Chains A and B, each alone.
Chain A
Amino acid sequence: MTGLHTPPRATARPGARRSRPRPFRRIPAAARWCALIAFLNAVVWAFVTPVFHVPDETSHVAYVQYFAETGLVPNIQDGDGISMEEASVMDALRFNATIGNPDQLAIFSEAQEGVLDAAERDRLDPSSGGGIIETSGQPPLYYALGAAVYHASPWKGLTQRIMLIRLLSALMAACTTLLVFLFLRELFREPWTWTVGALAVAFQPMFGFISAGVHPDNLLFAASAALLFGVARAFRRGLTPALGAGIGAAMAVGALSKLTFVALLPGALLALWLLLWSARDRRLAFQGAAIAVAVLVAAVAVYGALNAVAWDRALLGGGVENAANTAVNAGDPAPINLGQQLGYTWQLYLPRLPFMLDQFDHFPPYEVWFRGMIGKFGWLDTQWPGVVYGVALGLHAPLVVLAGLALWRRRSGLAARWPELLAYLAMALGVMGSIGFLGIRFTHDTGFGFAQARYLFPFLAFYGAFVVLAGLGAGRRLGRPLGALLVLLAMTHGLLAQLLVVSRFYG
């Protein structure tokens, strides 16, 4: 894996006229195909999933609409969280009666469609939202892009606009897949592995399902994949100003798309420092690192200025603390101590140790992360029959062994790549820690579970790498057939997931 492969630089023939291929042309054709396939799959998900039935889509639509209608971020104390138009459309779609009731169909008759048409024609005040809800503290980049689509839409009905914004999300899924391909190209020597890993991500059903929604996670996933690709490339080819600008852009987009990305930044900054420390050309690397940080700082500064001047809220929009406090009841009289915090975070990912307080009535590594990856659709109300998760576990177990085998065979290369691995580890720990930090507060105050598998999707590139390693673990003879089989399994998994959602809402 890491470190064994340095992609060859393009070499020009002596005497040949030097011409730089256009950036799009420099992307391998296979990567572009993978991106197109991911886009098409996400488009299908967008039409399969009824409007508002992606987790939190109601509040993300509210943010987009308020931003589009007023140019402001939602920041009204005690204001309505969603507009009257959105509320009437939700009523017409019978959303509140469908969510959480897996045996209840989405609207099924022309009469109900007529009610929806009337709600969309009447357009009750579309700018009447803006109240502070759980998404209000989030930065506005995804919502601003969504607002542009909202305005550009030739249709003025809210459900129609939502479908177009979903297509924007599908484009972001295509970008994520493309960047995963490029990340894998940095990591692995064998070209077939890049396609196999990227397609496994493209057809991952939870990724496809979230890509179908009006959801800033989609920009977060793309920015995270871009960051991982930039870091992997820089560790192999050296940090240059151009690469620094790319890493900086990824950090800026990520930081302005969702607060979760803040948890990746310490790891990203550590990566820059390690790149600087290990650079052959320190001056060039320093320029690259400086540009990366400058791009991030400039973006955050502009965002801070907008918050302070145009939107009348805290410089960073309230940041993580605001998100946590808005999602739950702040000011709880029984504060969470450090031991509880650490125990909760540990148990989210690992078996509980004997001295730890039992924080869950289930085993999160299986219930939250594994089952969540296999599929919990809708607002977690559409799940497979239990036996499917068991079969999936049975299929994954040998893959884990094979991936471990591949890593073992490449252990010497891995050891040489410790700075890069350390950077990835720091990013992963940052995100995992942030889920624990927010999760215990949410559960403490509401009694509900917090974590969802998608919270780890900033590391979809690692999921692709896992699939590739499983293929490589099968050895030289069987690696390719197994890789092909894993792609077919991913496609089948995705197809069955789409049928599951179709049967739940329409069947």
Chain B
Amino acid sequence: MRVKVVLGAGLALVAGLVLVLLLGDAQRRAGGNYVPEFGPVTELRGADRRCERNQLVPGDSGALSLLVGTYERPTPEIEVTISDSDGRPVSSGRLPAGQAEGRVVIPVERVEDTTAGLDVCIATGPGGRTVLYGRGRDVRLVWMRPGSESYLALLPTVAHRFGLGKLNPFGAWLMALAALVLAAAWLAALRLVLRQAGQ
């Protein structure tokens, strides 16, 4: 009886904990260009511009997360434009001046589908020097999804990513299948503990 009570109460707590985690704000990463932030790549002086060519911009991108250094001064206005190889605009956005240096998030119009071969240009407004970071000659670009989402709302996206890069005949359903297998393991374990320790 005591074992039953312990397991029942424990399970309720676990369910509550998982629910709280799922309803919490997700990181909402859309993807990135896989460039690590090893150090400074370029320094923009005043109104200046830097373009990263041939980029893959993930679908559902609604903001660009960028590490900027301004020597402890407020950031200048930062404008981001995304265009295809023919120069046709795909999306753009801007962050007003006056932010603290460090990681800044520049909102852009939502890019619906993942698109390769795009040029991403970062332009700074008048002001001091602005350092962009990455590795070698490449600036690190991390794309975020627009708005705010819980992990629960993000589940379909996570399930899609979960199914990539591995043996997977089930597509985006693979994660649900893995959850079912885990649930089966849990059920079997709880039943076993109840039978062995509950007698």
Contact = CB atoms under 8 A, between A and B. Distances in A.
Interface of A: 30, 33-34, 36-37, 40-41, 43-44, 47-48, 50-51, 93-94, 97-98, 100-101, 103-113, 116, 155, 157, 159-160, 162-164, 191-192, 194-196, 199, 202-203, 480-481, 483-485, 487-489, 491-492, 495, 498-499, 502-503, 505-507
Interface stretch (B41-49, B71-79, B91-99, B183-191): B183-191
Nearest to B115: A111
Given A50-B165, A489-B10, A506-B158, 11 more contacts: A37-B185, A40-B184, A94-B34, A105-B31, A109-B31, A109-B58, A155-B167, A157-B167, A196-B196, A492-B10, A495-B182
Interface string B117-144: 0000000000000000000000000100
Q: Please give me the 10 A-B residue pairs with the lowest Cβ-Cβ distance, nearest first.
A: A97-B34, A163-B167, A40-B185, A160-B167, A506-B161, A192-B197, A195-B196, A109-B114, A488-B10, A480-B197
Contacts of B26: 503, 507
Given A40-B185, A199-B193, A499 B21 contact: yes
Contacts of A100: 36
A40 B14 CA distance: 20
Given A94-B34, A483-B197, A41 B185 contact: yes
Nearest to A39: B185
12 contacts: A97-B36, A163-B166, A163-B167, A191-B196, A484-B3, A484-B193, A487-B193, A495-B182, A499-B18, A499-B21, A502-B162, A503-B26
Contacts, number: 170
A143 B87 CA distance: 52
Interface residues of B, number: 54
B189 A199 contact: yes
B100 to A, nearest CB: 19
A16 to B, nearest CB: 28
Contacts of A109: 31, 56, 58-59, 114, 164
Contact of B2 (A50, A113, A199, A480): A480
B51 interface: no
Contact of B196 (A30, A44, A94, A489): A30
Contacts of B7: 484-485, 488
Nearest to A97: B34
Contacts of A192: 196-197, 199
Given A37-B192, A44-B178, A110-B114, A502 B158 contact: yes
Contact of A159 (B17, B30, B166, B188): B166
A327 B45 CA distance: 46
A477 to B, nearest CB: 8
B192 A43 contact: no
Nearest to A153: B167
Given A163-B167, A502-B162, A503-B151, A199 B192 contact: yes
B116 interface: yes
B139 to A, nearest CB: 14
Contacts of B190: 488
A28 to B, nearest CB: 10
Contacts of A202: 189
A33 B2 CA distance: 23
A507 B158 CA distance: 6
Interface in B69-114: 114
Contact of A491 (B151, B167, B178, B189): B189
A111 B167 CA distance: 17
